[in-house]
Amino acid sequence: MRQRELQVGIPVTDEAGQRLGHSVTAAKQGIFQVVISRICMAIPAMAIPPVIMDTLEKKDFLKRRPWLGAPLQVGLVGFCLVFATPLCCALFPQRSSIHVSRLEPELRAQIHQQNPSTEVVYYNKGL
């Protein structure tokens, strides 16, 4: 879905929000951050409910009411996602930064020509 960003790049701006160009390197860094966030979002929902369900299945409560297993598991997964989603979205700032020295040589030269004092540029990492 973000293939175009990897081909063309994403807009990078200075601190004031002035667009300086497009960077594939910033796109790769942003996509990496989003992938890490999304993996971390899934971990609690995949780890916590099975442990709780395993414990509850050994108790008389679920042995007498086996039909409660599925709704309880769905509720536990939903509960985990309610907290994991915003926490993991906050792992990286929405407006991320990258040092100019890490950008493509052409873009780096363009930025130094336009704004020689610019050391860090910013980009929207996406969701």
Tens digit of pLDDT for each residue in 48-67? Answer: 999 999 998 888 888 888 89
**Each residue of 11-50: b (16+ CB within 10 Å) or e?**
bbebeeeeebbbbbbbbebbbebbeebeeebeebbeeebe
Query: Where does residue 21 fall: left (phi above 0), alpha (psi -120 to 50 degrees), or beta otherwise?
Result: left
pLDDT band at 3, cuts 50/70/90? confident
Distance between alpha carbon 27 and the CA centroid of its chain, in Å?
Answer: 13
Range of the domain at 88: 3-124
The answer to whether residue 1 scores a pLDDT higher than 70 is no
Q: What is the pLDDT at residue 73?
A: 94
Give mean pLDDT, residues 26-52: 94
Total count of domains within the chain: 1
- For residue 121, what is the DSSP state? E
| Distance separating alpha carbons of residues 118 and 112, to the nearest angstrom | 7
CA distance 96 to 67: 47
| Residue 2 clears pLDDT 90, i.e. is over it | no
Across the range 26-50, mean pLDDT stands at: 94
pLDDT of 8 > 70? The answer is yes
